[in-house]
């Protein structure tokens, strides 16, 4: 039996010798490479936190002591040490989640995988422990260096320092990168720590690190009130900046030295007040293919050969992100006003090619979506046209800036939302299912959802041509597939994909749901039900021709891969009523729930969004006499639209 197989909970670590801990760390790395190569998942980050996580569970008593991960993609080792060693269905329906999940274990606290929130959680938990008479319990926030670029982190530090009567430990897992290399003034500071010859040449036990590096490093964390830029200049000159932020600093520590990590964490634990432990780690540690991957050190992988790291699955065609990556460069070639902005995800959102060709015109602001959007408003004011590229789930974080900084000021900013709709195995915090409902309430916003690669290129060109308000272009994860031709484009840009002879059902498909709409229409035709299928291309505001088409049909069915509550279907229903069109509307989309990890197909099936389900329900409505028979004026309107 391997050592790992004997670990059923954190306290099983207590009796292991130093030699056994080293062997256990090696076993964990072999386990991660073997299992994650079969399922896909976040490999590099977890290989980098093995000793750190072992030390956490040796020093602290989870779940009595609360451990919060920021972000949760680095929690695989934590799962292994808390009784969850069946990784065979990792990130698949019924298997382990790729992030902490309360339903899996009492050891999991925070499920959200959005960065920079852990210190606020830790602040709240530690205050609650104190106020409820549990002041002897500890709270540990494990935060990546990239998350320290987020504004919430600094807001939390400001408040954590305001009350020292708490047992709160912040572990900075500093590997020089969040997804890709971490950027900004803070990253330069941490890099100066990692690369300083004096500290590389010495053994960084916690005591030695504190003696030799404590004052200037503590000053860095105190710099939140003194100004980061000013602090950095002082640090460069070996001056200590004293301010009110009094959080003990321990480090830097070699995050792969088990004994040193335990020593540092024990010192922080015994301090009895907020403390920072700065651990230097290596993403992808112990796995050569990850270490050689300069782009992201195997941050997240699909199915790979565990020996070589080579992908075992190939895409069937170009992905949505790749199409955008090429088109934004083509647009930038002819329009010097276009600049790109992203939040620590240059390559994942497809801005890397733009940055390679025009490095001064692409800004990576770190994990700081709010800053990215407000800064974009300023860039627009200065005469440029910013393209802010984010995952759809992360636009939620910057809604106020979209509303008050961009829209209120009628700033010409384009938002490109990758991974919109159902993303699948990453689970509830990564699905991009809220953007349609959230963003359509913004006054003056224009929102496009392309159905294929050609429409993505078209709609992106149209979006960056708008300079009097925000525009949005959203698309899903994965392969883009073949183009879906239209049989006609109406005067306001709406594409008619199928035209029915009988004015029974109008199917309005949002973006990538066009394929589903076509399949449904075919099935309805087999039942003698006429279905017209349209892709509005720009779904907000609702095009006038969609309203006119709806007036000529007995039923409107809207299909969207966002939540149906407050979604595009709701907007269509409201606009029809405002136009005195009384055609019935069925709004089909995703439920207003946090959807667990599963494949895209499984999630659509559970939501009743398969062609069979939709066609069956629509057939029941039409043939079950639940709808009025088409009136003469409807027939006339339909005939007019058919030309």
Q: Is 228 helix (H, G, I), strand (E, B) or coil?
A: helix
Q: Which of 327, 369, 560, 587 is catalytic?
A: 369
Q: Is 113 among the annotated ligand-binding positions?
A: yes
Q: What gap in Å lies between CA 91 and CA 188, rounded to an integer?
A: 35
Helices (H), strands (E): how many in the chain? Answer: 25, 18
351 φ/ψ angles, rounded to the nearest 5 degrees: -95, 0
Q: Is 369 among the annotated ligand-binding positions?
A: yes
Q: Would you mind telling me the total number of residues written for the chain in this entry?
A: 643
Q: What gap in Å lies between CA 46 and CA 79, rounded to an integer?
A: 11
Q: What gap in Å lies between CA 258 and CA 229, rounded to an integer?
A: 34
Q: What gap in Å lies between CA 249 and CA 227, rounded to an integer?
A: 18
Respond yes or no: is residue 336 known to be catalytic.
no
Q: What gap in Å lies between CA 253 and CA 208, rounded to an integer?
A: 9
Respond yes or no: is residue 369 known to be catalytic.
yes
Q: Is 145 among the annotated ligand-binding positions?
A: yes
Q: Is 256 among the annotated ligand-binding positions?
A: no
Q: Is 287 among the annotated ligand-binding positions?
A: yes
Instruction: Give me the helix-helix angle, 453-464 and 320-334, nearest 10°.
Output: 40
Q: Is 365 helix (H, G, I), strand (E, B) or coil?
A: coil
Whether a cis peptide bond, with omega within 30° of 0, leads into 541 is yes
Q: What gap in Å lies between CA 122 and CA 129, rounded to an integer?
A: 10
Residue written as token pair 């994990």:
367
Q: Where are the alpha helices (DSSP H) in 337-416?
A: 352-357, 369-381, 392-395, 399-400
Q: Is 114 among the annotated ligand-binding positions?
A: yes
- Cβ(368)–Cβ(415) below 8 Å: no
Q: Is 498 helix (H, G, I), strand (E, B) or coil?
A: strand
Q: Which two tokens stand for residue 60?
A: 């602290």
Q: Which two tokens stand for residue 103?
A: 């339903």
Q: What gap in Å lies between CA 119 and CA 111, rounded to an integer?
A: 14
Q: Which of 35, 84, 397, 419 is catalytic?
A: 397
Respond yes or no: is residue 477 known to be catalytic.
no
First to last CA, the chain: 76
- Cβ(411)–Cβ(405) below 8 Å: yes
Nearest to 403 by CA among 444, 354, 461, 353: 444
Radius of gyration of the chain (CA): 27
* 3-state helix/strand/coil string of 124-145: HHHHHHHHCCCCCCCEEEEEEH
Q: Which of 283, 285, 477, 564 is catalytic?
A: 283
Q: What gap in Å lies between CA 169 and CA 510, rounded to an integer?
A: 47
Which residues are marked as active site? 283, 369, 397
Show binding-site residues.
Answer: 73, 113-115, 145-147, 175, 287, 369
Show binding-site residues for Mg(2+).
Answer: 145, 175
Show binding-site residues for thiamine diphosphate.
Answer: 73, 113-115, 146-147, 175, 287, 369
């Amino acid at each position: 039996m391997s050592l790992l197989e004997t670990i059923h909970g954190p306290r099983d670590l207590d009796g292991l010798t130093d030699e056994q801990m080293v062997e256990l760390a090696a076993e964990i790395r072999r386990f991660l490479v073997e299992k994650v190569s079969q399922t896909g998942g976040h490999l590099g980050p977890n290989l980098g936190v093995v000793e750190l996580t072992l030390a956490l569970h040796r020093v602290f008593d989870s779940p009595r002591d609360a451990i919060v991960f920021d972000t949760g993609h680095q929690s695989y080792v934590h799962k292994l040490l808390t009784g969850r060693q069946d990784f065979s269905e990792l990130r698949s329906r019924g298997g382990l989640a790729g992030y902490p999940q309360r339903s899996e274990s009492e050891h999991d606290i925070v499920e959200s995988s959005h960065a920079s929130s852990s210190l606020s959680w830790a602040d709240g938990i530690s205050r609650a422990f104190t106020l409820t008479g549990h002041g002897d319990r500890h709270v540990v926030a494990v935060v990546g260096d990239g998350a320290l670029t987020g504004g919430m982190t600094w807001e939390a530090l400001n408040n954590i320092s305001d009350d020292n009567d708490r047992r709160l430990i912040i572990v900075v897992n500093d590997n020089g990168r969040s997804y890709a290399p971490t950027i900004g003034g803070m990253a330069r500071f941490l890099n100066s720590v990692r690369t300083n010859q004096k500290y590389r040449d010495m053994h960084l036990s916690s005591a030695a690190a504190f003696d030799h590096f404590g004052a200037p490093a503590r000053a860095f964390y105190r710099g939140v009130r003194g100004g980061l830029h000013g602090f950095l200049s002082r640090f460069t000159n070996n001056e200590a900046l004293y301010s009110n932020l009094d959080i003990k600093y321990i480090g830097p520590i070699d995050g792969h030295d088990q004994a040193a990590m335990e020593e540092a964490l024990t010192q922080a634990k015994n301090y009895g007040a907020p403390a920072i432990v700065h651990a230097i780690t290596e993403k992808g540690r112990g796995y050569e293919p990850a270490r050689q991957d300069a782009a992201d050190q195997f941050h997240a992988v699909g199915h790979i050969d565990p020996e070589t790291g080579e992908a075992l699955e190939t895409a069937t065609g170009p992905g949505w992100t790749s199409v955008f990556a090429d088109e934004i460069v083509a647009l930038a070639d002819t329009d010097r006003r276009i600049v790109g902005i992203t939040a620590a995800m240059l390559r994942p959102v497809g801005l890397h090619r733009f940055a390679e060709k025009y490095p001064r015109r692409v800004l990576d602001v770190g994990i700081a979506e709010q800053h990215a959007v407000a800064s974009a408003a300023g860039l627009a004011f200065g005469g440029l046209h910013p393209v802010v590229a984010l995952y759809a789930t992360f636009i939620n974080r910057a809604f106020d800036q979209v509303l008050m900084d961009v829209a209120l000021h009628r700033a010409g900013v384009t938002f490109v939302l990758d991974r919109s709709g159902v993303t699948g195995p990453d689970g509830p915090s990564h699905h991009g299912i809220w953007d349609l409902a959230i963003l359509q309430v913004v006054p003056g916003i224009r929102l496009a959802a392309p159905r294929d690669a050609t429409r993505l290129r078209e709609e992106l060109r149209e979006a960056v041509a708008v300079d009097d308000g925000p525009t949005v272009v959203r698309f899903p994860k994965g392969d883009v597939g073949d183009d879906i031709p239209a049989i006609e484009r109406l005067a306001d840009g709406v594409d008619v994909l199928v035209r029915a002879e009988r004015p029974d059902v109008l199917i309005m498909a949002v973006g990538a749901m066009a394929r589903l709409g076509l399949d449904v229409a075919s099935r309805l035709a087999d039942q003698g039900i006429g279905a017209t299928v349209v892709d509005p291309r720009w779904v907000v505001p609702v095009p006038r021709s969609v309203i006119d088409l709806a007036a000529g049909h007995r039923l409107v069915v809207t299909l969207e891969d966002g939540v149906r509550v407050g979604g595009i279907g709701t907007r269509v229903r409201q606009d029809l009523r405002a136009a005195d069109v009384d055609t019935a509307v069925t709004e089909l989309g995703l439920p207003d729930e946090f959807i667990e990890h599963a494949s895209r197909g499984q999630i659509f099936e559970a939501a009743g969004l398969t062609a069979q389900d939709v066609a069956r329900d629509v057939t029941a409505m039409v043939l079950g006499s639940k709808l009025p028979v088409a009136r003469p004026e409807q027939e006339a309107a339909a005939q007019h639209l058919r030309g």
